[in-house]
Amino acid sequence: MLPLEGQSPSARPLAADFRQTLRLALPLILAELGWMSMGVVDTIMVGRLPDSAIAIGATGLGQSLYHMLAIFGGGLLLGMDTFVSQAHGRNDVRDARHTLLNGFVLAIALTPLLMLAVSMWPWLMRRFGISLDLVGPMQPFLSALNWGTLPLLMYFALRRYLQARDVAVPITFALVSANIVNAVGDYALIYGHLGFRAYGIVGSGWSTCFARIYMALALAITLLWVERRDRPAREDRPHVDLSRIKALLKLGLPASGQILMEIGAFSAATAMCAKLGAVELSGHEIALNCAAFTFMVPLGISSAAAVRVGQNLGRGDAASARRAGWSAILLGAGFMTCAGLVFLSIPTIIARAFSPDPNVVRIGATLLLVAAAFQLFDGLQVVTTGALRGAGDTRTPMIANFIAYWLIGLPMGYILGFRMGWGALGIWIGLCCGLIVVGSALLVTWHRKPLAAYAGNSEGL
């Protein structure tokens, strides 16, 4: 949107920033919901297998462990948000493409390391004392997921590039249509329809793998379409650049460290719930799926915040960058407040959608009440993290997440859950306290951030 005649971009009302943030965020929100829907559909589909608690528990544990490492790898590419969005703000297409190529190189180099690490999870879970009833079916499910690692990382790189250049609708299409691919795959491979034999929960892993291959191909086609009209001259063609890869890692390592702290905390909580048995683990998975589903909305807003803050700083307009960040934070906080009220109102109805087992439903509904309490703070922390990333600050969120989850939330959850005998409820109360701390700390950090020092200075990142 252009400013009114005689009005500087930094003088536009906040309402204009809400509109711009929403215009970019809405397709990204739908994309995030599409990403999360795959896990929810997988959980619901395997929950109809004969032993519902074991099926949900093994699938949920495998998904949590896989995503902790895969999303860590994707987090190493988050520096692309800063570089590409600020290059786009400067109208420097050559530099944006240069970042994309080196993002691809980084993704390819990470793939074998991540796949090796994922393959170690079953052994580690047995050493941790998780029941073989859960680890046994989880292992082949995890192996199937693991083959989708390279397309998943390529999808991450393509998405970061496209959204930073304001190409967001095709990302939504890729995720929504990938859900159809996944749902059909679940129907065919879990239960043995459409000429396939029944693979049980392993079929769910292969279905997700195929859906991720499809997502990467869809965004690759989008990239060719976006770039078709503006072919670079020979001297402007991007090339493998170790200094750019190093710069991406300089931003990406703290960003992925922050993600590892957060996802790792919930994965650790999943492992602790697994020690309590299949029923408590299944209740935990229901609440976790619901909380993760609502989290996708502020996560999409967070991506929009990173892009808009970065683009405005690339133009040298710190005031507009500040306003873009606040508009995103307020949008995320408003949605998550509404989500918390929904969890508070109908927790049992939500839990029954996942499992017919009354014990599983009871625990899931109780944990949804705790999830209701931390929704606002979860929204604040993720959107503020995106705004800070647009300014090139990925260290502060990492430090805040480490302190909040690993020094406060998880130790408190362990004491309440095991020492005081509160079980999964105690573990979730600990996580809730950690989220309150990190959300509050990052909000204060954004309020005090001197953005003028970063405006027009992306070359020095």
Domain assignments of the chain as residue spans, ordered by start: 14-460
What is the average per-residue pLDDT within 136-145?
90
What is the average per-residue pLDDT within 240-245?
89
pLDDT digits (tens, 9 = 90+) for 386-395: 999 988 888 9
Q: Which phi and psi (to 5°) does residue 455 adopt?
A: -65, 125
Kindly tell me if the per-residue pLDDT of 134 is higher than 90. Answer: no
Selected residue with higher pLDDT from 341 and 454? 341
C-beta atoms surrounding 461 within 10 Å: 15
Kindly tell me if the per-residue pLDDT of 10 is higher than 70. Answer: no
Q: Which of 40-49, 83-92, 422-431 has the highest mean pLDDT?
A: 422-431
By the 8 A CB rule, do 45 and 186 touch? yes
Kindly tell me if the per-residue pLDDT of 449 is higher than 70. Answer: yes
Kindly tell me if the per-residue pLDDT of 458 is higher than 70. Answer: no
What is the average per-residue pLDDT within 389-403?
91
By the 8 A CB rule, do 204 and 46 touch? yes
C-beta atoms surrounding 9 within 10 Å: 15
The pTM of the full predicted model, rounded to 2 decimals, is: 0.76
- Report how far apart, in Å, the C-alpha atoms of 344 and of each of 77, 239, 295, 340, 341 are: 36, 53, 16, 6, 5
What is the average per-residue pLDDT within 216-228?
92
pLDDT at 13: 65
By the 8 A CB rule, do 383 and 332 touch? yes
Lowest-pLDDT range, 2-11, 21-30, 335-344? 2-11
pLDDT at 301: 93
Average pLDDT over the chain reads 87
Sign, CA dihedral 118-122-127-128, equals: positive
- Count, residues in the chain: 461
Q: Give which of 72, 69, 124, 162 is closest to 271, Cα–Cα.
A: 124
By the 8 A CB rule, do 236 and 67 touch? no
In angstroms, the first-to-last Cα distance of the chain is 28
